[in-house]
Structure 1
Amino acid sequence: MSESYLSGLIERQAEAYGDRAALKYRDYKKGVWIPVSWNQFAGKVKRISRALIASGVGVQENIGVFSQNMPECLYTDFGAFAIRAVTVPLYATSSEAQVHYIVEDASIRFLFVGEQYQYDVAYRVQQLCKTLKQIIIFSPDVARSPEDMNSIYYTDFLKQGESVEHQAEAERRRSESGPADLANILYTSGTTGESKGVMLHHSCYEAAFRAHDIVLKTLSDRDVIMNFLPFTHVFERAWSYYCLTKGCLMCINLYPQDIQMTIKEVRPTAMCSVPRFWEKVYAGVHEKINEASGLKKSLMLDALKTGYEHNIRYLMNGQTPPPLLHMKYKFYERTIYNVLKKTIGIENGNFFPTAGAAVSKEIEEFVHSVGINMVVGYGLTETTATVSLGWLDDFRTGSVGKTIPGLELKFGENNEILLRGETVTKGYYKKENLTRSLISEDGWFHTGDAGYMKDGFLYLTDRIKDLFKTSNGKYIAPQAIETKLVVDRYIDQVSIIADQRKFVSALIVPEYRQVEKYAKDRHIAYTDRKDLLQKPEIIALFQMRIDTLQQEFAHYEQIKKFTLLPEPFSMEKGELTNTLKIKRQVLMQNYAEEIEKMYEE
């Protein structure tokens, strides 16, 4: 059996790159980025491997990592892989109930935690759990509970690995590792029901790396990567592992809300993100255009029009742009596009993978028009992330690209996308019935997503489970309407209501800052946010914008009534998953009164 690729990856890269920086993380006390060399990374991995053995961690035992993005997450992952242990990541924002469920379900004895919130939750869970033996704390700033005599800090845990007495055992385990070993169990947060543990074996990652080597030809050890999404998310996790195989420099963003600052400090060449990041950029640019006037405004509008003509109308369709248009495009590239990229912090951009939710046509066209190489893809936890992606010189707006090499795709009932290949999970942890219901005997995985192929490109239409049926028997795809609306600069979040109802309605969380500015500019007096959102002028503003945005939908798909909410949907209220997807059932309960009001005769 050949050694699993990830078990020795960091050591091999240290031999190749030595003292060159592998990682960087931000020291918030000093306000500087601290580099970690490949040699240091490999040293940490070795120590964590020996410390895990010293603690009694067995072959294929599950260990938990409950933290926001930190270098320690990667040290722990690769330290575990080297001794054939399995890592189970938990979202940094997970609730006590979610952590309790995962720790019990995966029989986790050792749980690594990031900062105070994660420690506090884990310590409370430990009192209720039969399995949890020890909590290991990454951040030295965490204050332990006075009664806690058992938890230890990461630095003290590593000391157990300083002695080489467990080195022989570590080497034996690594030599016995193989692609058939389980690498991770990733619990999907799910918009309905309890989370389920997706098993990803080393063979899944190895197949994903081989496929991406064929497609992502421009990624190299010269790339600087910003890690923005949580490592717990399969998209960031698989991408990060892949970037490490390429020798890229990984810059780890600790707090997602700091990305506007950290991206400017790092100025990365690549970063994977969800569409929400680009929606914010789009809204920001259009705000600037709306505030501008005269020549400046017309230049900005012309730059967007020129970029659209050059990159979408001509290049995307395999045609050469006319010389005059190309000259104009090059002028805007040196001026307006360059200023925009510098303002975001991505003027060194190579490419930017984007997935995790539907990307609206407007956003995609805008990003490509200004010369940002957004790579739109589609994937699931169960497929080790990527199923398909559109490449820089081979994409179609509105599509999620072409399937990666080695992955078979066909369509089942209701145009459901079925997949088969080495990157597909072998099943759900301890859930044989669920595994059998979603993976056929001959290996076809039922994604639950509907779509179609055109000219070799995959297009998603809707989530089969998410289809709403109105009381008139018409089917509505809520995500299509929601994706269209969140592009608007006055709209932050939206949830469509239609199932078993006679018409479509919506709960809308406005972009409060924009609405308040609109009121100020028009001298609309109000006492508080709730009062502001009930003003006839504000309701008329939203009605106008919604009517404009939904013109392309059939009459029965269009929003007839809406409610503006004074508070955003939140994880605290259970309304969003850890990956910020809307939990429709919870919204139905939390806003039952507001919803019923929209359907009163």
Structure 2
Amino acid sequence: MRQRSGYGGAVRDFSLPPVVEPMRTGGLADSVHELAERDPGFAQLARSEDPAGGEWATVTAAAFRDEVRALAKGLLADGIRFDDRVAVMARTRYEWTLFSYALWTIGAQVVPVYPTSSAEQVRWILADAQVVAIVVEHEEHAMTVGSVCDAAPSLRRIWQLDNGCVRELAELGRGVTDDLVDRHRLAVTPRSVAAVTYTSGTTGRPKGCVITHANLAAECDILLAGWPGLVAAQGEQPSILAFLPLSHIYGLMVQVFCIRNGILLGHQPEIAPSLLLPALASFRPTFVFAVPYVFEKIYRRARQVALEAGKGDVFDRAMDVAVRYAEAVERHNAGAGPGPGPMLRASHAVFDRTVYRKLRAVLGGRVRYAVSGGSTLRRELGLIFAGAGITVYDGYGLTETTAAVTGQPMGRVKFGTVGRPMPGHSVHIARDGEIWVHGDVVFAGYLNDPEATARVLRDGWFATGDVGHLDDEGYLVITGRKKDIIVTSGGKSVAPQILEDRVRAHPLVSQCLVVGDDRPYVAALITLDPEALEHWFRLREREPLSPREVLRDEELHAEVQRAVSKANNAVSRAESIRAFRILPAEFSMRDGLVTPSLKMRRAAITKMYEAEIEALYAS
């Protein structure tokens, strides 16, 4: 461990020694073939036509290897060559994994495309990456691609999953020999490009991040070596349900993590709670990779059920005990306290039987540890889940760092932080507070954009664009994005994330966007959770209101004002939210207002709601 303080006595550098050897030879597809040789009957994947229905059929390592090989042959027969770029535009499903490993088997590069992408976004990616073929899920995707083909002269093939393209390609490749496939696979090296993954683009045009086989291997190998024993209990086969978009680097990493480490992998195409929660209950994973949105929804759903059963007070007392219990454990693990006292342990044991067990059951009942990424998990929510028996290891990363570059150390979680650098990696805090990172997970650069690459890669260090600080033990706290810092007309600098996270802690609030650049004071746009809102009216024996009526409801406005006032307690008056506007609908991917990892696109939101923002300052 290396730690160095800088100007002002603050910790500016922190690094940890490596725990795994970097990938020396071969590529990601080798693990498919090696496992099939070593243990052909091993249950590698699970498939279901209806994940919420509870029927899962396993796919053995040998069967998956054979499917990958057959599809690889078909790709070669249809003209795909080493280093060709092939896009995949589909939801999280079995065929996504199948195609990516078939492409990696023949040395081709995967170009993920979000299934919700607009025609303009698809046009840009296909042209910028010079994609030669694309896999789409259904007719609507095919029509989107067809409408922009004129801008992608390199595009030669469109394969449609729901039209049986996997079967057709396998049939086409029957004449291709195993030897030809193996020659392609053995030509892949760790430095070969595995994926060109486009940033989700909270502002500006997406950039193609060049991710190598070594990048993805390092990410997955470090996670497993640094956090042994968390993925499953002793003697239990580890299993993970992939529900994050495989088009996002986080979801892509989860897929590789499972295949590379012999973890049973299932797929759930939708992240909407009404579909995801039944799928989790039926699949019963041993470990979960998720984003804060999922943990928020699970908690809110559990509280809503308790309120409807007339047990809201019991639930809230249980959550209070969970927080106090987890805080006592946190202090004990840090060597700063004795741990939970006898009375607290007794209360915790009672609630574990009556309340926490039900919360764990939402995730299938077997999960004891999870990972959260994409954005920082609220400290209070992390404490709630830990006290209820599910420790969430929060991490931090970007597309350019192949997902996580920091994570909570095993058994030493500091809730509200994103942990310390992963083993073998370093974090540096620049003079302006920007976070720089270094290590094997850092990408090779931006495709076709050497100027943008030079701006962020400096002697192997990646300048993330995020700002934060390190505590004296090397734990990283994210305070926002450099470009998101608000400077009021009075010259006050405001980091919006602190306020936004605290407002969102209220059960009614879905999203909060703080504004105020070059304005006299800070204000906010707030959206409400539809399910929570319906429940709120029901508890008050009131008829639900239309979206427009909601905006004028005085009782509801007062409830949201309480959330804003509570958030303002965390900042000075000059930084506090002085005015807010409740909006009629949530920001969504469909409207282009959030990224697939559910981060708000600030520029797009402020442009769409320009009139509402002006009204906040009209008086």
Q: Work out whether the TM-score is over 0.5.
A: yes
Q: 1:213 aligns with which of 210, 217, 224?
A: 224
Confirm or deny: 8 A CA contact 2:367 2:390 kept in the other structure: yes
- Of 12, 30, 42, which aligns to 1:8? 30
CA deviations 1:459-479 (Å, max 9, x no partner) are 112211111111110111112
The CA deviation at 1:194 is 0.4
* Structure 2 match to 1:27: 49
Asked whether the equivalents of residues 373 and 392 of structure 1 are also in contact (C-alpha less than 8 Å), the reply is: no
- Counterpart of 1:314? 329
> What do residues 146-183 of structure 1 show as CA deviations (whole Å, max 9, x unaligned)?
xxxxxx722111212223x3432222222222111111
Structure 2 CA distance for aligned equivalents of residues 256 and 310 of structure 1: 30
Residue equivalent to 2:548:
530
Corresponding residue number in structure 2 for 1:157: 169
Paired letter, 2:50? Y
State the partner residue of 1:256. 271
What SS is found at the alignment partner of 2:186? helix
> Residue 326 in 1 paired to residue 345 in 2?
yes
1:477 aligns with 2:495: yes
Q: Which stretch has the larger CA shift, 404-413 or 319-328?
A: 319-328
Residue in 1 that maps onto 2:214: 203
C-alpha displacement of 1:500 = 1.0
Match of 1:270 in 2: 287
CA pair 297-109 structure 1, distance change in 2 beyond 3 A? closer
Aligned to 2:300: 283
Q: Does 1:230 align with 2:245?
A: yes
Match of 1:134 among 122, 140, 157: 157
Q: Could you tell me how far 1:438 is from its partner in structure 2?
A: 0.7
Match of 2:557 in 1: 539
Look up the match of 1:178: 189
Between 1:23-32 and 1:57-66, the stretch displaced more is 23-32
Instruction: Describe the superposition over 1:469-518 as per-residue Cα deviations: whole angstroms up to 9, x where unpaired.
Output: 11110111112211111121111122111111111111111223443444
| TM value normalised by structure 1 | 0.92
Which of the pair has the greater relative contact order for Cα pairs under 8 Å at 6+ separation? 2
Query: Deviation string for 1:263-291 (max 9, x for gaps)?
Result: 11112111211101111122223334545
Report Cα offsets for 1:47-88 as digits up to 9, x if no partner: 122122212222211111111111111111111112111111
Shift of the 137–423 alpha-carbon distance from structure 1 to 2, 3 Å rule, reads: same
Equivalent residue, structure 2, for 1:465: 483
What letter is aligned with 1:90?
A: V
Structure 2 SS opposite 1:515 = helix
Residues 1:61 and 2:84 are matched in the alignment: yes
Contact 2:242-2:254 at 8 Å conserved across structures? no
Q: Distance in 1 between matches of 2:222 and 2:255?
A: 15
358-367 vs 463-472, greater mean Cα deviation:
358-367
Per the TM alignment, residue 202 of structure 1 is displaced from its structure 2 partner at its CA by 1.2
Work out whether residues 181 and 201 of structure 1, in 8 Å CA contact, stay in contact via their aligned partners in 2: yes
Native 8 Å contact 1:283 1:487 kept in 2: no
Cα distance in 2, alignment partners of residues 30 and 468 from structure 1: 43
Deviations 1:361-393 (A, max 9, x none): 221121112111211111111111111111451
**Residue 190 of structure 1: SS of its match in structure 2?**
coil
Gaps of 5+ in 1: 141-151
Relative to 1, partners in 2 of residues 1:307 and 1:526: Cα closer, same or farther, differing over 3 Å? closer
In the alignment, structure 2 segments of 5+ residues that lack a partner are: 1-22
Post-superposition CA distance 1:214-268 (Å, at most 9, x none): 3120136711101010111111211221122221111100222220221111121
1:525, distance to aligned residue in structure 2 (A): 7.1
Q: Cα 1:528–1:459, aligned 2, differ >3 Å: closer, same or farther?
A: closer
Does the 8 Å contact 1:316/1:394 carry over to 2?
A: no
Tell whether the 8 Å contact from 2:330 to 2:413 is kept in structure 1 after alignment. no
Matches of 2:203 and 2:75 in 1, distance apart?
A: 35
Pair 1:125–1:36, CA change in 2 (3 A): farther
Q: 1:126 to 1:265 in 2, by over 3 A?
A: same
Q: Secondary structure at the match of 2:74?
A: helix
Cα 1:474/1:28, change in 2 over 3 Å: same
Contact 1:86–1:184 (CA<8 Å) still a contact in 2?
A: yes
Q: Distance in 2 between matches of 1:539 and 1:302?
A: 26
1:264-319 per-residue CA deviation (whole Å, 9 max, x = no partner) reads: 111211121110111112222333454565xx555434432333233222344324
Question: Cα offset for 1:341?
Answer: 1.4
Cα deviations across residues 110-135 of structure 1 (Å, max 9, x unaligned)?
10112233222123233553121111
Q: Compute the RMSD of aligned alpha carbons.
A: 2.2
TM superposition shift of 1:399: 0.8
Work out whether 1:18 is the aligned partner of 2:40.
Answer: yes
**Which residue in the other structure is 1:335 paired with?**
354
Q: What is the SS of the residue equivalent to 2:29?
A: helix
1:520 Cα offset (Å):
5.3
Supply the distance in 1 between the matched residues of 2:449 and 2:150 (Cα, whole angstroms): 26
Which amino acid in the other structure matches residue 498 of structure 1? Answer: G
SS in 2 for 1:562: strand
* Residue 192 of structure 1, aligned match among 203, 212, 216: 203
Aligned residue pair count:
585
Q: Which residue of 416, 430, 451 corresponds with 1:433?
A: 451
Q: Distance in 2 between matches of 1:73 and 1:64?
A: 11
Query: Using the alignment, how far apart are the partners of 2:571 and 2:526 within structure 1?
Result: 18
Counterparts of 2:149 and 2:425 in 1: how far apart (Å)?
Answer: 41
Amino acid at match of 1:445: F
Q: Distance in 2 between matches of 1:322 and 1:29?
A: 42
C-alpha contact (below 8 Å) 1:6/1:202 kept by paired residues? yes
Amino acid at match of 1:185: V
Structure 1 pair 535–418 and aligned structure 2 pair: CA distance change class (3 A): same
Change (3 A) 1:364 1:561: same
Q: Is the 8 A contact 1:364 1:397 kept in 2?
A: yes
The question of whether the paired residues in 1 share the 8 Å contact of 2:368 and 2:389 is answered with no
